[in-house]
Structure 1
């Protein structure tokens, strides 16, 4: 298994994709951290020093600043997850993968472990960018960069969230054999469909209280305990541990179905 995992990581890090993604996630994290830090520390912007219509304490403000690039991060990890398996089917290299690792369960397990490692690596890159930019801005505006140990917990959960999004991408990439279609469906749902659906359901009491909080993006935000929307139509958030279990369930179901299909289907 260790050799199979090394092989999967080598496949990824020997392409130019990895450093392009690394630069993108670092820059996005730094820019969003600067934007959010300046917004939350500006005077007259609403409750708790944040923009109007938002609420949260110093811990939530620090969490929001340091994980502000998480939305871009999980889209990139979703893309990596899709491409990690989708490119194999697209370029017909999956046959060689299964020949080099005859036990398909082991081969698919190696891909899953590799994706978790990639999630942690890119998560660290994202957090380095956001903390390096966000912490000084908070400090210069008389906000504590690390007001409580809960901030460190949120940073660790951000790493877990990115790994789980990579597994979600893996599941989508197997269940939709066409790589381009899988990318369009996965990114389109996470970036466009889910936010619009969540916004629409927020005006329905049952949807606001019982549905929206179980969406993967909503669960991701709840995991890291960020500043939340205020108002009568604001959806309820799960506690951080419940949100982590929800996102884990999404990843387990999609990755599990993908793994089941990959281990049973015929390949050319």
Structure 2
């Protein structure tokens, strides 16, 4: 007997109890805020974003100073061009920090399935479709919010690294920063939804966490070595590379576009080097990578949705 049948036909003599039935988005918000997972993952996200961006920018400034000093000792004057090298640190920091929103999305569904709290949601809601729609919609907002935090903290890191290193000319222009920021928020949101899909597909906290971490941190790096033999741009179609390429391609393309006085072959070589340094080796333009990664997100979200719709909740 379902929840609605129980309410329509209560047992004889049962006291009338007025139940508070919050809307599904409010229910998702309560599930989210009443656990420590969201802030437990937010803390290392902030620390990683700030630390990586700050240290990477400071390192670039340090290397620049060493090159200038070394050439001066040889009696040669070296002029380091005012290129936005800090964009690389910003893009890398954003991509690396998305690992925590990915896990957050995976746990959002897997934890409820494993603990069977999803059963209550299914029985008290109009349909499973409404529950899943609310879940994916809510975590799209959560992913975007994490993206805002990651972009903001990473931007603070590159600014601190540039200021303390004395090379503020390495900071990206306002237009490029806005492009990287928007791409970072989009990427984080899609990664979070992909995590929700994987969590719905596997339905187990440990399995979901291991699969997400092992693939993003290890498996695809090994896969890159194999597929790059097929073609230089094949890695751009992989999950991790396409997700990272959304952000990194903007930084790489901006930097290479500023190098206009090189021969075509050398310019192409520099482009590949810049893309590799930005973590976008073998990828395409940001909007192409966004489409590719959106397809991957829809695939895993669709598979998770399909399995969740048919999973036994008894």
Tell whether the structures are fold-level matches, with TM greater than 0.5.
Answer: yes
Distance 1:63 1:93 in 2: 43
Within a 5 Å distance, the mapping from 1:144-159 to structure 2 comes to 144-159=170-185
Contact 2:87-2:172 at 8 Å conserved across structures: no
Residue from 109, 112, 116 that aligns with 1:92: 116
Deviation of 1:250 (Å)? 0.7
Gap runs ≥5 in structure 1: 47-55
Q: Which of residues 14, 34, 44 is equivalent to 1:14? A: 34
In structure 2, what is the equivalent of residue 43 of structure 1? 64
Give me the whole-angstrom Cα distance separating, in 2, the residues matched to 1:213 and 1:169: 20
Does the Cα contact within 8 Å between 1:222 and 1:240 map onto a contact in 2? yes
Cα distance in 1 between the residues matched to 2:40 and 2:203 = 25
**RMSD across aligned positions (CA):** 2.5
Task: Tell me by how many angstroms 1:150 deviates.
Answer: 2.4
TM-score, length-scaled by structure 1: 0.85
Query: In the alignment, is residue 3 of structure 1 matched against residue 46 of structure 2?
Result: no
Higher relative contact order (CA 8 A, sep 6+): 1
1:108 to 118, 123, 132: 132
Q: Does the CA-based 8 Å contact 1:78-1:169 persist in structure 2?
A: yes
Alignment counterpart, residue 68 of structure 1, candidates 92, 98, 122: 92
1:198-209 map, 5 Å: 198-202=224-228, 204=229, 206-209=230-233
Distance 2:237 2:160 in 1: 34
Give 1:35 deviation, angstroms.
Answer: 1.6
Q: Which residue of 2 aligns with 1:236?
A: 282
Specify the alignment match of 2:262 in structure 1: none
Distance 2:281 2:154 in 1: 26
Q: Deviations over 1:77-96 (max 9, x none)?
A: 12111110101111111111
Query: Structure 2: 5+ residue runs without aligned partners?
Result: 1-21, 68-80, 253-270
Supply the distance in 1 between the matched residues of 2:243 and 2:66 (Cα, whole angstroms).
25
Residue among 27, 30, 36 paired with 2:47: 27
Residues 131-186 of structure 1 deviation map (CA, whole Å, 9 limit, x = unaligned): 12211332531425341402212111111111111111111112213221121112
Partner of 2:77: none
Q: Give the number of the structure whose alpha-carbon radius of gyration is greater.
A: 2
